[in-house]
Each structure stands twice: as structure tokens, then as C-alpha cells.
Amino acid sequence: MKTFLALGRYEFKNIRRDKMTGFMAVYPIFITLIGAYVIPSAFNLFDGNEAAFLTTSLVIAIIMASLAPMLGGAMLGFLLLDHKDEKTLDSLRVTPLSLRSYLIFKSVYTYLLSASASALVIFGIRILSGESYTFMGQNAFRDLPVSGILFYALVGGLFGPLFGLLMASLAKNKIEGFAYLKSLGILLLVPVLVMVETFQDIKQYILGIIPGFWAVKGLLESASILQNEANLPAFMYFIIGSIYMLIMIGLLIYLFQKKISE
């Protein structure tokens, strides 16, 4: 336990020294400002029916909610690939901390950053945007309940370590890591398909193979958005998403360990 606390203090101090970690600490503010001011201003530049703008605002809400965990995961992925390139993980063999314990610590650390960033972005846009996202009497951010946002952040934050471990397990080095970051970025957009009518009935569960689907769908269901008889209660989406992603994280930690030992 003392080892984990020491690592936690080191990571906290490292925020001021490491550029990537520092970026992780400030980027939620940047995204919040874009979501609260820049995007609503863009709406004013175009004429269109409010139904289209409402749909667009829901898509933006989903993407903004999903962006924080993905960026947190990218930070973890590149950190692990950097260790892999420099073979610094081998030094853990002569310390009391095992590779598995180190990966668990970094996953928890990334999760906390991702969950906090998700909550900050959604709450920030909700507060600062005012009525900018109100169309046809509905507001994509204001209509999200506080409990739904908090549960989304707690569950959706798990996608951060999952994404980072997946990227680090698939890529052999940082160059491949950038390639995988681009290709795996599609995972950010797949949950948006819940907006398509085809995936609003029982076929929505086809999207369930994508980990981010469950948290996003739980968030929308908590606000009674896209109601359908095939929908589960919001808490069930959150529970299934948590179990699914925790299992995936465990498997990816095992896979990364195996890759390092080869």
C-alpha cells in the first residue's frame, strides 16, 4: 500500500513537470470552452430546422462525453509504449513492485483522471452554455440528470485504461501507436450510432461489443432520450458496461504482460 501511495505522490508532482500529464490536467477546460462557446456559435452561422440542430447537439453531447476517456487512454498507451521502447519495464523485476501491480496502478490513475475529466466537461458545458443547445424546448446537456452524468463519468472513465492498454498491447512501438490511435479512434464515433433509428430497437445491442456504448446509452436512458421498448433501465446499462470493461481491462493487463515477457 505504501508503494502505491508513493507512486500516487510522484504522479501528482509529475503533473507540473511532464508535458503530456500536464496537458491531461488542462485539456478538459479547453474542450469545455469549445463545447460551451465555439460550437454554439457555429450553429448561429447556419440556417436549418431545429430538429436537425437538436439531433446534432445530441451527437455533440455523446462525442464530448466520450472524448475525455479516450484521450486519457491515449496518454496511458503512449507512456507504456515509451517504457516498452526503452525497456524500462524490465527494471521492475528488481523492485518490490511487480509489472502487474504497476499496470493496475497506472490503470487506476488513468481511470481517476478520465472519470474526473468526463464529469468536468459535461457539467462545464451544461453550466456555461446556458440555452445555447436548446432546440424545440429540449436541451441536450441541461436535460441530462446530475445522477446520470455522475454514473456516466464513473463507468465511462473505465474506457480510459481499457483504450490505453489496448493500444499498448497491439502496437510494437510509438510509431505503430500513432497508427492504432487513428484507427481505434473510430471507437469514439460508434456510440453515436445509437442516434440512428436502425439501432434504437433490439439491434442496439449489436453496438454493445464497443465498450463505450453501455455508458453512453445509460446516460441517454437516464434522461429518457431515445425511448424504446427494447431499452434496459439506465442502471443496467451502467452495470453491464462496468463488468464488461473491467473484464476487458483484466484481459489486456494479462496480454500486455505476456507481450513484455516475450
| Contacting residues for 240 by C-beta, under 8 A, at least 6 apart | 208, 214, 232
Structure confidence at residue 144 (pLDDT): 86
pTM score: 0.87
**Cβ burial 37-56 (10 Å sphere, 16+ → b, else e):** eebbeeeeeeeeeeeebbeb
Q: Please say whether the dihedral angle defined by the alpha carbons of residues 193, 195, 196 and 198, taken in this order, is positive or negative.
A: positive
Which is more confidently placed, 131 or 232? 232
How far lies 127's CA from each of 27, 65, 76, in Å? 18, 15, 30
- Residue 185 · residue 159 · CB < 8 Å: no
Residue type present at position 202: I
- Residue 78 · residue 110 · CB < 8 Å: no
Instruction: Look at 56-70, 139-153, 169-183, 233-247 and tell me which has the smallest mean pLDDT.
Output: 56-70
DSSP secondary structure code for residue 67 in this structure:
H
- Residue 163 · residue 70 · CB < 8 Å: yes
Distance CA 169, CA 166 (A): 5
Tell me the CB-side half-sphere exposure of residue 15, using CA atoms within 13 A: 12
For range 74-90, the mean pLDDT: 81
Q: Give the gyration radius of the chain's Cα atoms.
A: 19
pLDDT tens by residue, 11-37? 555 555 566 666 666 778 888 888 888
| Contacting residues for 182 by C-beta, under 8 A, at least 6 apart | none
Percent over 70 (pLDDT), the chain: 85
For residue 120, pLDDT beyond 70? yes
Instruction: Look at 87-91, 177-181, 230-234 and tell me which has the smallest mean pLDDT.
Output: 87-91
Which is more confidently placed, 215 or 189? 215
For residue 191, pLDDT beyond 70? yes
Distance CA 201, CA 78 (A): 38
Q: Please say whether the dihedral angle defined by the alpha carbons of residues 171, 119, 158 and 15, taken in this order, is positive or negative.
A: positive
For residue 160, pLDDT beyond 90? yes
For residue 70, pLDDT beyond 60? yes
Percent over 90 (pLDDT), the chain: 26
Distance CA 149, CA 161 (A): 19
